[in-house]
Each structure stands twice: as C-alpha cells, then as structure tokens.
Amino acid sequence: MGLPRSTFLRFAALVFLLQLVGAALLLATVHQLTQDQIGDEAEAHAEQLRDQFLHSYRQGGFAALGAAVAARAQPGRAPGAALLLVDRDGRAVAGNIAEWPPSLPPSATAATLDLFRIGHEQSEQIYLVATPLAGGGRLLTGHVVESELRFTVILEEAMVSAFAVAVALAAFAAWSSTRLIHGRLAATVGTARAVAAGHLDRRVPVDGSDDAFDALGIAINAMLDRIAALMAELKIATDGLAHDLRSPLTRLRSTLERALDASEGEEARGAVARAIDEGDRLLTMLDTALRISRAEAGLGRESFVDLDLSAMVEDMVEVYGPLAEDNGFEIVADAPPGITGHVHRELLGQALANLIDNAMKYGAGRIVVAARRTPAGDTVISVGDDGPGIPEAQRPEALRRFGRLDAARSKAGAGLGLALAAAVARLHDGALELHDNGPGLRVELHLAH
C-alpha cells in the first residue's frame, strides 16, 4: 500500500512519527543512563570493599583477611554488603554468604546474581566482584542492588505510561498542526473561490506575522488588486465602446429610416428596410455581447435587489402570452407563490426573455415557465418546451457564444441568448443547465440562495 496522496495526511504522519521517535529515544536514553548509573555505583561499592580487604590481606595474610571479613560481616556493620572468603578448597571461611555461588564460574570477575545472605529470609539482587588470592583462596565482595532494581522496574512502568501519553500527544500535535495549516490555507482558497465567482472585492486576510502564509496572502492580494484595476479599466473601455458604437449606429438607423421614407421604388424600399433590420440586429448583438462581458466580469452585483421571482415568472408569461398564441404556442406559468431572490432584475429578466424567445423559435407545443426552490435553498427558474430538443453532444456548442445549431441559419438570432443566460446564472453564483424535457428541451437557470 502506497503513501496517501493527501499532503495533509503525509504531513500529519510525518509529525506523528517524528514526535513518536523523539519520545522513544528520550525514554530509552533515560532508561539506559539509569541502568548505567546503578551499575556504576554498585561496582564502586564492591570494588571499594575489595580494596579494603586486600589491604588487610597484604598486611596480615589470609588469617588477617578472614578476621576482617568476619568483622565486617557482623550484623549492622555493612547493611548493603555481601561478603564471602573461601579457602583453596572452596570452603567458606568468613562472610555473610553461606557458600560460593554455583552460578558464578571461577573465571568470572563480576556478575549480578540473586542470592540469600545469612540472616535474610528472601533472596536479593547483588552485584558481585570475585577476586582470586595468591594462596588459592577467593574473595567475593558485593553490594545489594535490590532497591535500585525495583526502582528501575517502577521507572520502566512509568516509561510505558509516558510512551502511551507521548503517542496521544504526537497524534494531537499532528492533528493540530495540520488543522492550523489547513485553516490558514482555507482562507486563501475561500478568497480564490469567491473571486472566481465574481466577488472581485474579496481579499485574503493577513495577520502581520510575516510568515510564509502572510507573504502568500500579500502576494495574492497584490495580484487581485491588479486584476481589479484591469477590470475597472475594462468596464470603462466597454462602456466607452458601447457609447461610441451605439451613437453612430443609431444615427445610421435614423438615416436609413429617412431613406426609406424617401424611397419610391419597391425594390429600393425593401433594400433599405433590410438594412434597417440588420442595423437593429447589430445593435442587439453589440448590447448582448457587452452584457455578457460585464456579467462574466462580475459587474452588476451592486444592482441586486430582493425580487418576487414567482411574480416575475407570472409577468413574463402574461407579456409573452399574446405573442406565443400568435405563433401557435401555449405558454403557462408554474411557480408557487413566495419564491423570492436577491437578483439583478434587468439581467435576469433579459435572460428569461431569451429563453422564452428560443423556445418559440426552436420549440413546439406547450411552453412552461417554472420556478421552484431546491432542498438546498437554491432557486431554479426553467423554460421547457415540447420541441425536438438539443442532443446532449451538441449542448456545449449551444452554450458557446455565437454558437448556432441551425447550420442554415434559417432562424433569426446571433447565438448569444443561451450564452447571456449562462453568464447571468454565473453572476448569481449559479449555472445554466440543459435537460431533456421528454420530449423537448428544458433550460434551467440555477441561482444560489
């Protein structure tokens, strides 16, 4: 099984393992140092006793050594000492140990054994130093380490408990560190998503800590400031373009209208009338393209108002009712009362009008304009018809700007109606969806609550 792909999980695992290894190394070091200290102190006691007895041995021989050992072995003289002097035949001469331990080979110089001392009912852990004597005898000196070893056992149990706590703390450290990083990045991700949805005024919060997250937030905010400035320039440019183009086109239309009035021949009047229609179509395309650009740039949210969408649907159906009837359609509303939204009234009305126009151009039979609230609280406004619909493979083309599914272009239009509706949906943090209406096409405008 490979490592998880999530960077957060990898980081959490790394923090957890480092904390765990650090705690294990610390506890192992403390345990080893404690063991070494106990061993060193016991060895020093045993060797100190041995040196004292060897001094007596050098001064008075084996008999003096035996007397010294016997004297030191008396109760109360050396509470923690273990002593034994044996002759060349291995018989005990003096001391508080009855006989030479069978588990201690003659060649051994030091060992820790579990032995009984004379006058003690229980065995004890004793660190022993064996010293051979020149005359063939052997001297055994030692120090009882029972209490030190019991302390070591208690220490080991405490270390096990401490390690369990270290595991829990390591897990908490891993979790808290990833939560801290996730929290700092979540603000940046949230800002990026809000800007992508058109909220160009959102910025990444910075706390002045001058750390990497603060530097990232400052850099992103600088980028967003630049984008906002460019968008403001775009707004000025598009507004100027719209004004500059609309004025000459309007004057051209007025001129054509005067030319139409002055024309006498039927052919000339027809040509002028077609020129006026093309001019109107060009003005409509220009206006729609500018509306799409401004909506995609998130411009216009300042004009959002609270609106009764149920009433809006009813009004649209009432307005389009006569036109639909003249074109052989039946148009009905299906919007329960009480559906409201915070929307751009003009753009949403234009988008809904485009969808109804498309239904009358390409649909057939009954047109249903509906509004409903989703369980998530979003609002869906839809226009459905009983026409041939749009095959699923061609729907992306239908949503593209200037996209025309009518190759012969037999129907009037610039291919901007659905594109504008989609841009309006995105302006409201929603989306435009095309569905089969069984039969026909149902276009849904999803608006965020």
Q: What is the mean pLDDT of residues 396-418?
A: 67
Q: Which residues pair with 381 in a beta bridge?
A: 371, 445
Tell me the CB-side half-sphere exposure of residue 413, using CA atoms within 13 A.
26
The DSSP secondary-structure symbol of 302 reads G
What would the mean pLDDT of 382-411 be, rounded to a whole number? 75
pLDDT of residue 310: 93
If phi over 0 gives left and psi between -120 and 50 gives alpha, with beta otherwise, what is residue 409?
left
DSSP 363-409: --SEEEEEEEE-TTS-EEEEEE-SS----GGGHHHHHSTT--S-TT-
Distance CA 269, CA 338 (A): 51
Question: If you ran DSSP here, which 8-state letter would residue 116 be given?
Answer: P
**Cα 330 to the center of its chain, rounded Å:** 52
- Those residues whose C-beta lies under 8 Å from the C-beta of residue 115, and which sit 6 or more positions away, are 82, 97, 101, 123, 124, 126
For position 3, what pLDDT does the model report?
Answer: 53
Instruction: Copy the structure tokens of residue 361.
Output: 């151009």
- pLDDT for 235 beyond 70: no
- β 138-144/81-86 pair status: antiparallel
Alpha-carbon torsion, ordered 311, 316, 317, 321, to 10 deg: 140
pLDDT tens string 267-326: 888 888 888 887 777 777 777 777 777 676 666 777 788 999 999 999 999 999 888 888
The sheet with strand 330-334 has its strands ordered as 330-334, 366-373, 379-384, 441-447, 431-436
- What pTM does this model have? 0.49
Question: How far, in Å, are 44, 81, 131, 201, 221 from residue 49 at the CA level?
Answer: 9, 8, 11, 86, 79
Angle between helices 212-262 and 266-296 (to 10 degrees): 170
Q: Give the closest residue to 32 by CA, choosing from 161, 152, 143.
A: 152
Q: Do you know the residue count of the chain?
A: 449
pLDDT score, position 427: 83
Q: Which of 26-40, 209-223, 296-310 has the lowest mean pLDDT?
A: 296-310
Name residues whose C-beta falls within 8 Å of residue 397's C-beta, 6 or more positions apart in sequence: 403, 405
CA distance 115 to 179: 58
The pLDDT of 427-445, averaged and rounded, is 89
d(CA 180, CA 290) in angstroms, rounded, equals 44
Q: Which residue type occupies 76? A: G
Residue 245: helix, strand or coil by DSSP? helix
291-302 confidence digits (pLDDT tens): 777 676 666 777
Q: Which percentage of the chain shows pLDDT scores above 90?
A: 16
Predicted confidence band of residue 356 (pLDDT cuts 50, 70, 90): very high
How many other β-carbons are positioned within 10 Å of the β-carbon of residue 296? 17
Residue 443 has pLDDT above 50, yes or no: yes
pLDDT recorded at residue 276: 83
Residue 408: is its pLDDT beyond 50? Answer: no
